[in-house]
A and B are shown apart, each in its own frame.
Chain A
Amino acid sequence: DVKVTQSSRYLVKRTGEKVFLECVQDMDHENMFWYRQDPGLGLRLIYFSYDVKMKEKGDIPEGYSVSREKKERFSLILESASTNQTSMYLCASSYRTDGYTFGSGTRLTVV
């Protein structure tokens, strides 16, 4: 089974902190994605990557950056966390039209 592992299930950070969310997949997928999930808004795409060192903005990239130095790892960075970034963050990877495989999510609370 393809596995997508997110390093933390729950995270609490203070306003202004720099936050790193890590995601690792073990099936050599080229495509990786970061979404945030909020009640009533569904999933919104933050950033995605089709290959190592490549990244593209999604629909809501403001306040976020990403890093993909190795094929299996895709990191989401909150440069200066704010309370409106409190959310569930979901990482996913995919191969062609197989559909996404999601991680279990990281519930981030910024206080």
Chain B
Amino acid sequence: AQSVTQLDSQVPVFEEAPVELRCNYSSSVSVYLFWYVQYPNQGLQLLLKYLSGSTLVKGINGFEAEFNKSQTSFHLRKPSVHISDTAEYFCAVSHSNFGNEKLTFGTGTRLTIIP
């Protein structure tokens, strides 16, 4: 079985400061990894995904994430945050089994940007 751990439930960051949101996964097989963002009162929106190839993945809104197989991590980073980045962020994993893209989600990290 696969699982995802997001260690930080809440992260406060000053505006224009860098941020890292941590995600660790456990799985006995090859995985695909995703980050989603949820703005208040909305559904989830895909930020970025890792399927294969380069371990550094760039997404929307200036976010990027690095896949580290040895540490089973997929941390999300942004060099300079903006007030509009205030949201909840979810890491998710699926088995790389063609035709089965069932995602397992972490419990989420609430990012609060302080002006």
Contact = CB atoms under 8 A, between A and B. Distances in A.
B90 A103 contact: no
Nearest to B101: A94
A102 B43 contact: yes
Interface residues of B, number: 25
Interface stretch (B60-68, B69-77, B79-87, B103-111): B103-111
Interface in A58-108: 58, 90, 92, 94, 96-97, 99-105
Chain A interface mostly: strand
A96 B43 CA distance: 20
Contact of B43 (A44, A58, A97, A105): A105
Interface string B93-109: 00010111111111110
Contacts of A41: 107
B49 A103 contact: no
Interface of B: 6, 9, 32, 34, 36, 42-46, 49, 51, 90, 96, 98-108
Q: Top 9 nearest A-B pairs by Cβ distance? A: A102-B43, A42-B107, A43-B105, A102-B44, A99-B46, A104-B43, A42-B105, A42-B108, A105-B43
